[in-house]
Amino acid sequence: MQKHYRKISISVVFVMLLMVSFIPEVQSQDERMMAQGDSRARGIESKADRRFARQDFDKAMEIYETAFKDNTLSPDYAARLHLKTARLYLTLLEYISAIPHYDATMALDDNLFTTSDVCNYLDALRFSGSKMKAIGIARKYGYRDAYNADRRFQNILHALNYEEGILPIGTAEFTIYPQEEFNTVNSEFWIGEVQGDYFYAASNSRFHDPHKKFYHRTQYLPLSADAASASGKGDGFLLNRIPQAMQNGAFTVSGDLSNMVITGVQYEKGGSISITEEGINEYHTKLYTSKYNNRRKGWSSFSELFSGREGYSFSHPFLFNDDQSLLFASDMPGGFGGYDIYVMHWNEEKNDWGLPVNLGSYVNTAGDEITPYIFENTLIFASNGHIGFGGYDLYGVEYIYDKVTVGSLMHYSYPVNTAFNDFNMICIDRNTGYIISDRNPDYKDNIYYFERNLHFGGLGVTYSLSGNQMIFNNMLTLPVDNEEITAATPRVEELPESTLSELALSLYFDFDSYLLNKRALDEFNAWMARVDTGRIESLLLEGYADEFGEEEYNIALSKKRADTVASHLSAAGIQVDIETVGKGMEPMLESLKEEGQVFDNNFQSNVLKKPVWLTKEARRVDIIATIK
């Protein structure tokens, strides 16, 4: 029995050894097959890259697609190549072709997605008519912290709730007209003005930056017969004298036509577009400057405005303040994230530009801010980081004496802004102008003319635009289906009356502001004149914010509001213990719903259903006194 047992044991051990030695051989064979498949696909990818860099797009994408016919690709390489291919299709605005590659990436490794990738994926779905699928994908990511804090993602969620953006009640503030005479299947992506003549830039390249920061094969063209005539004046001073290599984006010219700042694209490797697994990222946009030489009747050679700033991009220049100041957009370090808007001023002593200054958090966000432009006292710009309808929207902020007015941020109503990208504006006067938008999915970027409706705000009443009111009447003029609100009445926010008593006071603040406005100051002074401060032992100041914005931001804002009131109390001679608390946002959804102020079966689906003028009572500081 012992011998028999020993034979069985030896046999089992021998079989187990064979199995152990066989498994690594199988694994290594699979690995070798995947390595060989990846190697073949990399060769195909490199060939496609070269075609794409030469802008032979159809052939390039055809070659990329052949790489996926190899079934031996490793999951890691296949996922990265699918994502790269999706990104490239997006630069060609071929949404339907991009979607299967986004799908494949998600199935293989959705950790490769950045928030920008997910937003682009959702845009590809909704722009191609797959709204329900986009909603499903949005739900997959909506509860992750990175996406919950990403404003572009949140704006797309809002856009998914509105097929055509936010529709106004009654007469819209503006009417929009597509400029069919100038719009083509190419991108008409920018409008500028020189001495009262209007010009636009058009790109005839299929290659298209989804973030609207650069273009290829651009041509500058007159927008009217007057501009066509002007473009040739002064020995052909402008359009025909700009080198083709410099024509990649917006330009700005001084009022005396002596100086120009223009956007150019700087390529890294041999003047071609280099394509990596991360997409097209081996280029940077630069600002170049040139002076007009009256003696030679021509522009000098273009020199880089920011020398030594390698690795960062600068674009969208705009001269103002009698050409002594320059606005531009850049992703250089030290900003709030993405592209921010900066300003710098001319130094007469040094005969050079001063240091760039970031315009701050009332303008710039963690998203992208581009296309700055000033009309009268209003800075107009595009952003995908502020609360909006989806994609880029157009905003304005009061800008006086080189300062942004706190709390003056304004957002254009529909149809100036839509659920698509609306990202460039120039005003002819206080009631008319042009915008650039990609709202027509059958085309790329197009030119639209906007005209204020003269009867907006009431029958027979003409509302002229002035100052920062040129952009809109209040922050986020959003519709509410309330029959008590007269159609076509401009919504001007009126703060509630403060609650006055001998022992307590509530002070109300403007949207996104922690400074006491005139009305709040008057009520504070009236309360101070009435209250018996000798009976107060201590004060608790509780600050609140409305439901717009992220929780962390609202807590900080509500604390600043409480601290502001504390400073005024101390300055008024109150010498008691004062405690300030930032309570953050005060939800008003359910109470508003119960009161019937908002009529919507899907009331909680969208933060944009809660316009600023409905949540005004949440923006306050409560002064609570403890009596001796």
pLDDT at residue 500, rounded to an integer: 43
pLDDT of 527 > 50? The answer is yes
Which of residues 160, 194, 212 is at a domain's end?
160
Max avg pLDDT among 156-165, 265-274, 337-346: 337-346
Same domain, 427 and 529: no
Q: Is residue 597 part of a domain?
A: yes
pLDDT (0 to 100) of residue 31 = 82
Query: How many residues can be counted in the chain?
Result: 628
CATH number of the domain where residue 567 is located: 3.30.1330.60
Same domain as 287, residue 200: yes
Residues 305 and 384 in one domain: yes
The phi and psi torsions of 123 (rounded to 5 degrees) equal -60, -45
Mean pLDDT across 15-30: 52
Within a domain: residue 264?
Answer: yes
DSSP states of 480-533 = ---TTSPTT------PPPP-B-SSEEEEE--TT--S--HHHHHHHHHHHHHS-G
Confidence of residue 564 (pLDDT cuts 50, 70, 90): very high
User: What pLDDT digit, counting tens, does each position of 94-132 carry?
Assistant: 999 999 999 999 999 989 998 889 999 999 998 888 888
Domain count of the chain?
3
For residue 486, tell me if it sits in a domain.
no
Query: Of the ranges 12-21, 308-317, 423-432, 454-463, which is most confident?
Result: 423-432
Does 442 share its domain with 548? no
- Residue 102's domain is classified under what CATH number? 1.25.40.10
Q: What is the pLDDT of residue 549?
A: 67
CATH assignment of the domain containing 322: 2.120.10
Structure confidence at residue 277 as a pLDDT band (50, 70, 90): very low
Q: Is there a contact between 532 and 504 (Cβ–Cβ < 8 Å)?
A: no
Would the pLDDT of 186 be above 50? yes
Which of residues 326 and 225 earns the better pLDDT score?
326
**CA atoms of 190 and 248, how far apart (whole Å):** 11
Q: What is the mean pLDDT of residues 372-386?
A: 94
Classify strands 283-293 and 298-299 as parallel, antiparallel or unpaired: antiparallel
Give the per-residue pLDDT at 459. Answer: 31
Quick check: is 111 in a domain? yes
**Structural domain boundaries enclosing 422:** 177-451
* Section 543-568 average pLDDT: 87
What is the average per-residue pLDDT within 502-517?
80
325 and 426 inside one domain: yes
Q: Do residue 212 and residue 92 come from a single domain?
A: no
| The model scores a pTM over 0.75 | no
Does the pLDDT at position 445 exceed 80?
Answer: yes
The pLDDT assigned to 618 comes to 83
Q: Is 472 within a domain?
A: no
Residue 466 lies in a domain: no
Q: What does pLDDT average to over the chain?
A: 77
425 and 295 in one domain?
yes
Residues 442 and 530 in one domain: no
197 pLDDT band, cuts 50/70/90, is confident
Q: Give 26-58 pLDDT, tens digit per residue.
A: 557 778 888 898 999 999 998 998 888 788 899
Residues above pLDDT 70, as percent of the chain: 75
Distance CA 603, CA 289 (A): 52
Spatial distance between the Cα atoms of 606 and 415, rounded to a whole number of angstroms: 19
pLDDT score at 228: 62
- Tell me what pLDDT residue 230 has: 56
Residues 351 and 206 in one domain: yes
Same domain membership, residue 309 and residue 221? yes
Question: Average pLDDT in the 263-273 region?
Answer: 62
The listed range with the strongest mean pLDDT (76-80, 266-270, 348-352) is 76-80
Residue that finishes a domain, picked among 410, 425, 451? 451
Q: Do both 95 and 230 map to the same domain?
A: no
57-67 helix and 75-91 helix, angle to the nearest 10 degrees: 160
Instruction: Report the alpha-carbon distance of residue 528 to residue 523 in Å, rounded.
Output: 9
Q: How much is the pLDDT for 536?
A: 82
CA distance 569 to 533: 11
pLDDT band at 382 (very low <50, low <70, confident <90, very high): very high
| 20 is a domain residue | no
Q: Flag whether 465 is in a domain.
A: no
Q: Closest by alpha carbon to 548, among 600, 509, 494?
A: 509
Return d(Cα 437, Cα 444) in angstroms, integer: 8
Q: 171: pLDDT confidence band, cut at 50, 70 and 90?
A: low
For residues 181 and 154, membership in a common domain is answered with: no
